[in-house]
Amino acid sequence: MTTPRDAAFRVAVLDVLAKRVSAALTEARKEAEPVFAAARVEGNKQIEVALPSGTQVGTVSIKASDDTVNVNEADVLAWVLDNAPGEVEPVISSSALDQPDVVAYIRRFYPELASKRVRPAYRSKLLGQLNDDGELVDEATGEVVKLADTVKSGPSGAFVLTFEKAKNGKPAGRDRIAEAWQSGEVDIRDLILPALEAGEQ
């Protein structure tokens, strides 16, 4: 019969094991990202996760690069004021909320708290028309206006791991991995022992 002391010891040992394996997983994911980034640059969007036998148990999907678009809000506002002034609305600074007056009076009594902005829906529509160089091309006049800069960056290596689902009577990917180490097809000692020896991070 399990004693309270035995139960406490079991929980403590498994807690240490779980934390060290979790830390090892975090480190393994971090080390995998530059490898996956290089694979994505070479055109690989997905990588099959397979057991030594070749049985697929999952898929790593590598995320594409995240381009950063830096919108020049002052240029956007100036363009809209010139070309679609009805899409500009007054904006009250959040500090106006400390005033006891009604918002309608703020523009009259506290003009320094008021500013202008492009209506969000129109701004989204306008930015959706920018070309890859952050330029807006006026179809009527052919005028080109630079409204944003796009900072291109390579893939970070960020990824999503998905396991095969159980189907056609075959077990799910996670279960196949467990079966593989239980059968000896996969030796997890090379993965687990370094995690145990590394100590809790």
Residue type, 95: S
Are 106 and 142 in the same domain? Answer: yes
Are 52 and 91 in the same domain? Answer: no
* pLDDT one-digit tens code per residue, 151-170: 777 888 999 999 999 998 88
Are 106 and 135 in the same domain? Answer: yes
Are 52 and 75 in the same domain? Answer: no
Question: Whole domain around residue 123: which residue ranges?
Answer: 68-151
Are 91 and 139 in the same domain? Answer: yes
User: pLDDT grade, residue 102 (50/70/90)?
Assistant: low
Are 125 and 90 in the same domain? Answer: yes
Are 56 and 16 in the same domain? Answer: yes
Q: Would you say the C-alpha torsion 71, 84, 146, 133 has a positive or negative sign?
A: positive
- Give the burial class of 167: count Cβ atoms within 10 A of its Cβ; 0-12 exposed, 13-18 middle, 19 or more buried: exposed
pLDDT at 106 over 70: yes
Are 11 and 80 in the same domain? Answer: no
Q: Which residues contact 158 (CB under 8 A, 6 or more apart)?
A: 33, 36, 62, 63
User: pLDDT grade, residue 101 (50/70/90)?
Assistant: low
Are 9 and 38 in the same domain? Answer: yes
Are 34 and 88 in the same domain? Answer: no
Specify the pTM: 0.57
Are 145 and 73 in the same domain? Answer: yes
Q: How many domains is the chain built from? A: 2
**Considering the chain, what is the average pLDDT of its residues?**
87
Q: Which residues contact 200 (CB under 8 A, 6 or more apart)?
A: 16, 19, 20, 23
| Cα 53 to Cα 180: distance, rounded to the nearest angstrom | 9
| Cα 71 to Cα 126: distance, rounded to the nearest angstrom | 11
Are 80 and 124 in the same domain? Answer: yes
Q: Averaged over 175-198, what is the pLDDT?
A: 85
Choose from 35-44, 135-144, 185-194 the range with maximum mean pLDDT: 35-44
Half-sphere exposure of 32 (CA within 13 A, CB side): 15
